[in-house]
Amino acid sequence: MTEHIIEVNSKNFVEKVIKGSESLAVIVDFWAPWCSPCKQLTPIIENAVNTVSDKVILAKINIDENQSIAAQMQIQSIPMVYAFFKGEVVDGFQGNIPESQVIEFVKKISELVGPNEDIKAQTVNLEKYITVSNWNKALEEADLILDVDQNNIDACCGKILSLIGLNKFDLAKEFISILPEEILNKDKIKDLCLKLEVNENSFKASENFDDLKKFLENNPNDIKAYIDLSNAMFGIGKISDCYATLIKAIKIDPEWNNQEARKKLLSFISSHDLTSEEARKARRQLSSILFD
């Protein structure tokens, strides 16, 4: 047994489970030495609790030795698992369930406790560094959070955004590839995947900035040249020039290649900053072209 995996009996049940669940979540595993399914569940639930040991206590109760508790909790068969928080039963399951469901159960219970004080402080720092585009520091804070809570959505987003900001696109894609499906399905992550694609393409285009600029000067009505140059401008952070270049292209031919210039402009705005003055100005100009 460890500090967060304990044996509980009828004498300390109130102290360890009822009172103990006031500050942390307590998952109670009712078992018996003769129960084969219990033995199968034990390493699975212990491993799951070990990943959130700062938030969850696993209390193991041998029903053969604590029949009064088993009767009080109306335990009919084992293994039986109950989760307590703030002195009350909040969830539970009976029998052996798939390992993935056990992990999800423990994670859900741990989330009742909320982030610990260290993670709260690190999240504040993460947001601060992102605001000022200090991507190295933001990446450090994201990794500190992920060391404790590997599925923390703020830290996952912060790490991806930092890697994009540092132009480490392959590392960003590698990190995204190992995220669980439940995280990948979050809208924030989907938006960052789009941002990653846009920024990577733009960064690659920026390597040919001078050539693209010269080509457009010699071909002032080539819509694709405008789009290619806008990609390069976005890649080197010339956001206002990027938007202005696409507006020029739209003015020349708003319908070119199924409105590609308009779609490109909107994708840049969406992946950069929807609320910036540059974005508002570009949207006003776009509306003026399309609807006047």
**Tokens for 116?**
């610990």
**CB proximity list for 261: less than 8 A, separation 6 or greater:** 223, 226, 227, 246, 249, 250, 254
* Neighbour count for residue 224 (Cβ, 10 Å): 15
Name the region of 5 (left: φ>0; alpha: ψ -120 to 50; beta: rest): beta
Residue 38 a catalytic site member: yes
Taking Cα atoms as reference points, which of 272, 269, 265, 267 lies closest to residue 248?
265
Find the largest Cα–Cα distance for the chain: 89
Apex 230 CA angle, 188 and 191, nearest 5: 5
- Nearest alpha-carbon partner for 129 in 167, 155, 168: 155
Determine phi and psi for 257, rounding to 5 degrees: 50, 55
SS (H, E, C) 75-139: CCCCCEEEEEECCEEEEEEECCCCHHHHHHHHHHHHCCCCCCHHHHHHHHHHHHHHHCCCHHHHH
Residue 15 CB: number of other CB atoms within 10 A? 10
Report the candidate in 145, 109, 130, 104 with the shortest Cα–Cα distance to residue 28.
109
The catalytic residue among 38, 156, 157, 242 is 38
Answer yes or no: 35 catalytic.
yes
Catalytically active residues are 35, 38
